[in-house]
Structure 1
Amino acid sequence: MPDDDLDRRFNELAAQISVEERRRASRAAHAEWAALPRNRRRRRWRITALVAVVAVAATGGLVTYRPELLEGAVTAFSERLAGTADRDDPSAGPLPGETAGPVPEETTPVSVDPVKVSPFEGSPAMDYPDGADGLVMPPAKAMGGLSEEDVAAALKRAKDLLKASNLDRRVLFKAGHKPFSRLLDPEEREWFLKNLDRRKPRKGDFNTRYWLTSFAPGTAEPVTDVIKVNGRTKLSPLKDGRRTGVRIKVNYLFVYAVQRPGRPYTAMRVVAHNAGEMAAYRENGRLVIWVRNWNGDGTAGARCDVDDGFVHPSYEDSPEDREVAKATGAPIDPYDLEESEQEGCRLTTGT
C-alpha cells in the first residue's frame, strides 16, 4: 500500500476508534442492541425474519459494525507503531527513514500484532461452540423396542441432517440440496425433491426449500468460516399407532456472519432457528428414520416479504419490507431457544 494511502487510512480510522474504545464498545453493545426493534416472520413450516443491523457502541452513539473497518483500524495502528513507538521520546533520535545511515542490524522495529474483531462479539453467539461442535447428541440407549445400535444410528442421522441443512456451504451459499436429500429415507427423498423450490406445491405439501437454510443466490457471502451453534437434542420413546421406536427432537440456533458479495461494509448476523422432529422405528425388519418437521422456527435477519424458501438477508440498505408494517406483538429474542407459536412477521431484538 502506498505511504500516502496508509497515512490517509490511518488518520481517518484513528480519529474514529481506538483499541480501548472498541473494547468499551464491545461491553456495551449487547445492552444497546436490546433496545433496537427488529423484525421476523413465521410461516407454517418456518419463520423468516427481517432486519438485523449489527451495531457497536462508540463515543457519540452507535455506528454500524464493519469488521473490516475495525480490523483495518488496528492493522493501521500496528503498521504505524512499528515506526513511531518512540516518536515522542527525544532520546530516541530520528526515525530510520530520516537518518543518513542504514538501520543498525541489532535494531528491531516495534511490532504490534493486529487485534482481530469477531463478527459475533457483543452477542450471545460469541460464547457458542463453533460449527458441528455445538451439535451434541444425548447418549444412545435401547428404547421403544430399538436396540442401542439402532438409536445410535438415528442420532447420528439427526446430527448429519443438521450439518447438511444448516452448516454445509453447498446448501448455504450455492442453493444445493444433495448433502441433505441424500440422507432422507428413499420414500421421503422422492417427496422432498418433487416439492423442492416449487412455487405452487400440491395441496397438503409445501416448498421443501424451507427445510434448508439456503441464502438466496447472489445475496450473501460468509464474513468468516465460523458458524456459531447452540442448542439441544431430546430423545424419548415413540408410540404411534402400531409403531414403536424413538422420537428425536432437535432445537438449535445457527448464527451466521454474512455480507453482500464483495461489500464488507454490509456485514451483519443472521440467526436461524432449527426446531424439528424425527422418528425412528423398525418396519419389516428395516430401520426407518423419518423426518416429520425440520427447520421450523424461523430466521432472524431475513426479509419477510419474499416467499420462495430462501433466506434473503435484510441489510441496512435493503429496500423497505412490505410486511414490516403488519408486524405485531412484543419483540422476541432471536437467541431464545423457546419455540414461537405465533405466525406472521415478528419483531425481534437486535441479533
Structure 2
Amino acid sequence: MGAGTEPDGSSRSDEEWERFLRESVAGTADAPKEPSARAREVAKRLRAEPDRGSEGWRSYTPARPKRRTGWYVVGLLVSLALLAVAFAPGRVVDLFADDGSDSAPLAAETARPAQAPPAEAAQRPTRDKPFRGSPAANWASGAAGITVPKAGAVGWMSAAEVERALARSRDFLVASGLDRGVLRGERPEKAIALINPHQKDVQELLKTAFRTPSEKHDPLLLFSRFQPSRTQLVGDIVKTRGRLTYREGERGALQVTADVTFVYPVTPAVASDSDEIVRTIVRRELVLSWDDPDNVITEPGTASIVSYKYDMTNGGCGAPTGYFTPPFGTDRRADKAGTEVDPYDRSTPVGRGKSSGDKCGRATRS
C-alpha cells in the first residue's frame, strides 16, 4: 500500500496528512511509531516552512484601489475655467489668444490688395502691445511700411533724379504723418519745406489752417496732429502700410501718388495711468508733381500738391480744431454716428478729403 493511501484505496488529503504529522510530532498516543516515507517528506517540509503568522497559506490580499484624486482635480480646474469665462470672457481670450506680435511681418505692399485683411481675434490693446487684435500688429513700423518702387527715367527726369524725388516724397509722408513733434501738435516745418512755395492755394491753406482751422482750411487735410493736453501717444511706434507709384504727368512732370494708412495708438492725457487705448486710423492719398522748372515756377527740391484726401476713423467727428480728437470713455460709447467702414480695407480707393464730402466713418474694427 502506498504512503498516504487508505486501505480501501482512497488517498488522504494533504491537510489530513499535515494534521496527522503535527499530532505525531506532539506525541499523540495513537500516532504511528514509524511514519511512512511520504510522512517523513511532508514533516521535513513543514519544519523548513517559515512561520506565516495568522495569514493562511496560498492566501491573497488584493491591493487597495488607488483613490482617483486626479479626476477630482481636473474637474475642479474645469469648473473654475468655466466660471472665469462666464464672468470675464474678454480677459480669458486675452490670456490664450495669439496677439500676432511674434508672427512674421507682412511682405511689402506693391499693389492695391484685392480684399480686406482677415478678422483678428478680439483682444484688448495694452501699453506694451498697443496693436493687439489689429491687422496692424504685423505691419511694418514708420517709414519702413511705405514701399518705394524702383526708379526709372520719366519725362524731364533721369532715373537718378526720379529716385531722389521718390525719396523726398516719402520724406514728406514721414514729416507730415510720423514726426513726433508734429504728432504732438507742433508746426510741420520739415514737411512744409518740401512744398512748392509758389503754389498759391496750398500756401493759403497753410497760412490759415494752423491759426483758424475750418472745414476748408484744416491742417488735418495734410498733417496728423493730436492735442497734447488731451491725447497722448502710446509708445514710440506708428504702424504703416502703403506704397508710392509714379508716372509722367502734365508737361513732362514726374507725378508721384502715395496711398498710405497710418495707425496711431493713443490714450487720454488727463489720465496718465489709464489703460484705455484707442487706435486712430488715417489713410491718406496724396498726389505730388515734381515739375520741370522750365515749364512751371517752382523751387529746387520742392513739389506741387495736385490733390489730397483721407479716410479717418476714431479721430473725432465734431467741428474742426486742427487736431484729431479720439473718443475716450463715455464719448467713445456714444460715438455711433457715421457710416460703418473697415479702416484696414485698402482694396478700395480713399473716399474722404478735399473732393469727397465731410461725413465721418465709424470703424467696424480698430
Q: Which moved more, 1:271-280 or 1:189-198?
A: 189-198
Alignment root-mean-square deviation, CA: 3.3
Q: Does residue 22 of structure 1 match 2:94?
A: yes
Aligned residues: 248
Residue of structure 1 in register with 2:291 after alignment:
281
Residue of structure 2 in register with 1:123 after alignment:
134
% same residue = 23
Q: Does residue 271 of structure 1 match 2:281?
A: yes
- Residue 254 of structure 1: how far off its partner (Å): 0.8
Distance 1:320 1:216 in 2: 21
Decide whether aligned partners of structure 1 residues 150 and 195 sit closer, same or farther in structure 2, where only a CA change above 3 A counts: farther
Q: Does residue 339 of structure 1 match 2:349?
A: yes
TM-score when scaled to structure 1? 0.62
Say whether the 8 Å CA contact 2:213–2:320 is kept in structure 1: no
- Residue 184 of structure 1: how far off its partner (Å): 1.8
Secondary structure at the aligned position of 2:209 is classed as coil
Distance 1:143 1:314 in 2: 45
Report Cα offsets for 1:46-105 as digits up to 9, x if no partner.
xxxxxxxx9945xxxxxxx3625xxxxxxxxxxxxxxxxxxxxxxxxxxxxxxxxxxxxx
- Counting only pairs closer than 5 Å after superposition, residues 219-238 of structure 1 correspond to structure 2 as 219-238=230-249
Decide whether aligned partners of structure 1 residues 319 and 226 sit closer, same or farther in structure 2, where only a CA change above 3 A counts: closer
- Residue 224 of structure 1: how far off its partner (Å): 1.3
The partner residue of 1:292 within 306, 310, 319 is: 306
Q: Does residue 312 of structure 1 match 2:325?
A: yes
Secondary structure at the aligned position of 1:67 is classed as coil
Residue of structure 2 in register with 1:211 after alignment:
222
Residue of structure 1 in register with 2:126 after alignment:
67
Letter of the 1:336 counterpart? D
The partner residue of 2:167 within 149, 152, 156 is: 156
- Residue 275 of structure 1: how far off its partner (Å): 1.0
Specify which structure has the higher proportion of strand. 1
Distance 1:267 1:200 in 2: 27
Decide whether aligned partners of structure 1 residues 199 and 275 sit closer, same or farther in structure 2, where only a CA change above 3 A counts: same
- Residue 201 of structure 1: how far off its partner (Å): 6.7
Decide whether aligned partners of structure 1 residues 280 and 321 sit closer, same or farther in structure 2, where only a CA change above 3 A counts: farther
Distance 1:246 1:300 in 2: 32
Distance 2:311 2:365 in 1: 15
The partner residue of 1:194 within 189, 198, 207 is: 207
TM-score when scaled to structure 2? 0.60
Decide whether aligned partners of structure 1 residues 263 and 298 sit closer, same or farther in structure 2, where only a CA change above 3 A counts: farther
- Residue 250 of structure 1: how far off its partner (Å): 0.4
Decide whether aligned partners of structure 1 residues 276 and 18 sit closer, same or farther in structure 2, where only a CA change above 3 A counts: closer
Say whether the 8 Å CA contact 1:164–1:180 is kept in structure 2: yes
Letter of the 2:96 counterpart? R
Residue of structure 1 in register with 2:189 after alignment:
178
Say whether the 8 Å CA contact 2:213–2:321 is kept in structure 1: no
Question: Looking at both structures, which has the greater relative contact order when contacts are Cα pairs under 8 Å and sequence separation is at least 6?
Answer: 1
- Residue 19 of structure 1: how far off its partner (Å): 9.5
Distance 2:92 2:360 in 1: 39
- Residue 236 of structure 1: how far off its partner (Å): 1.0
Distance 1:258 1:122 in 2: 15
- Residue 210 of structure 1: how far off its partner (Å): 2.4
Letter of the 2:304 counterpart? W
Secondary structure at the aligned position of 2:236 is classed as coil
Q: Structure 1: any 5+ residue segments left out of the alignment?
A: 1-12, 29-53, 58-64, 69-116
Decide whether aligned partners of structure 1 residues 315 and 26 sit closer, same or farther in structure 2, where only a CA change above 3 A counts: farther
Secondary structure at the aligned position of 1:154 is classed as helix
Report Cα offsets for 1:16-35 as digits up to 9, x if no partner.
6999742434579xxxxxxx
Decide whether aligned partners of structure 1 residues 309 and 283 sit closer, same or farther in structure 2, where only a CA change above 3 A counts: same
The partner residue of 2:148 within 130, 137, 156 is: 137
Larger Rg: 2
- Residue 279 of structure 1: how far off its partner (Å): 0.6
